[in-house]
Chain A
Amino acid sequence: SQQGEEDPQALSIQEGENATMNCSYKTSINNLQWYRQNSGRGLVHLILIRSNEREKHSGRLRVTLDTSKKSSSLLITASRAADTASYFCATDLVIAAGNKLTFGGGTRVLVKP
């Protein structure tokens, strides 16, 4: 079952604009991760935010987390055509012998040149 729900399901923007996508989840988490998936390829880890953090930056990426609202957002600034991909949030629960990721349905982002 999918833990997170992402909004919007699809997003189309012009190169240079910012892209914002949101993720809501239902249960307690240890961390929340964001992954990117280019067409026909596997997922690539983008950024992790811990449950005790509110905001995190990595290059052109900015992630926020509000555990009281059980929601997270991913902002991509100054988007490029190469940012065209599907973006997934994944709730991260640390359990015995590893961690368990539960993915949302994803946001499909199209960046037009």
Chain B
Amino acid sequence: EAGVVQSPRYKIIEKKQPVAFWCNPISGHNTLYWYRQNLGQGPELLIRYENEEAVDDSQLPKDRFSAERLKGVDSTLKIQPAELGDSAVYLCASSFWKQGVGTSGEKVYEQFFGPGTRLTVL
């Protein structure tokens, strides 16, 4: 089974330029997450989708960040314009969430992560 696919793996841009990251989740996973991971820190959630609906975007800096998941499958995260402080690894994760499953089954809670995109803003 293929894992979460992200591209590109690395991106170097100059500040004020736009950049986009792409994520293809595991087939059948209805929930998709974008995280940002700064050097030496743990990932921080940016946005969470259930199918095509963004159900939690409270931590997404909406002045410059946008995301979409038009058909409820793959997703794109965009930054425009990029700033020096946006240098980080952007991780995509997916999981299968079924309404009413409750507390049964650990696999419901496990998130599967892609390898990430390392962004360097110069």
Quick check: is A75 within 8 A (CB to CB) of the other chain?
no
Beta-carbon contact of B115 and A41 below 8 Å: yes
Mask: chain B, 95-122; 1 = CB below 8 Å from A; 0 = not: 1010100010010111111111000000
Quick check: is B56 within 8 A (CB to CB) of the other chain?
yes
The count of residues in chain A whose C-beta lies closer than 8 Å to any C-beta of chain B is: 31
Chain A nearest CB from B77 CB (Å) reads 15
Contacts of B97 in A (CB 8 A): 97-99
Contacts of B108 in A (CB 8 A): 99
Q: Known contacts A2-B42, A104-B42: does B109 contact A92 (CB below 8 Å)?
A: yes
Contacts of B42 in A (CB 8 A): 2, 4, 88, 90, 103-106
Residue ID in chain A nearest B35 by CB atoms: A103
Contact of A45 among B4, B41, B111 (CB under 8 A): B111
Beta-carbon contact of A2 and B44 below 8 Å: yes
Beta-carbon contact of B41 and A100 below 8 Å: no
The count of residues in chain B whose C-beta lies closer than 8 Å to any C-beta of chain A is: 28
Contacts of A105 in B (CB 8 A): 40-42
Contact of A100 among B48, B91, B106, B113 (CB under 8 A): B48
Chain A nearest CB from B53 CB (Å) reads 8
Chain A nearest CB from B40 CB (Å) reads 7
Interface residues of B in 31-86 (CB under 8 A from A): 31, 40-45, 48, 50, 55-56
Beta-carbon contact of A44 and B103 below 8 Å: no
Quick check: is A113 within 8 A (CB to CB) of the other chain?
no
In this complex, which of A4, A41, A50, A99 has the most chain B Cβ atoms within 10 angstroms of its Cβ? A99
Chain A nearest CB from B5 CB (Å) reads 11
Contacts of B40 in A (CB 8 A): 105-106
Bound Cα distance A95, B48 (Å): 12
Chain B nearest CB from A106 CB (Å) reads 5
Quick check: is A30 within 8 A (CB to CB) of the other chain?
yes
Beta-carbon contact of A99 and B109 below 8 Å: yes
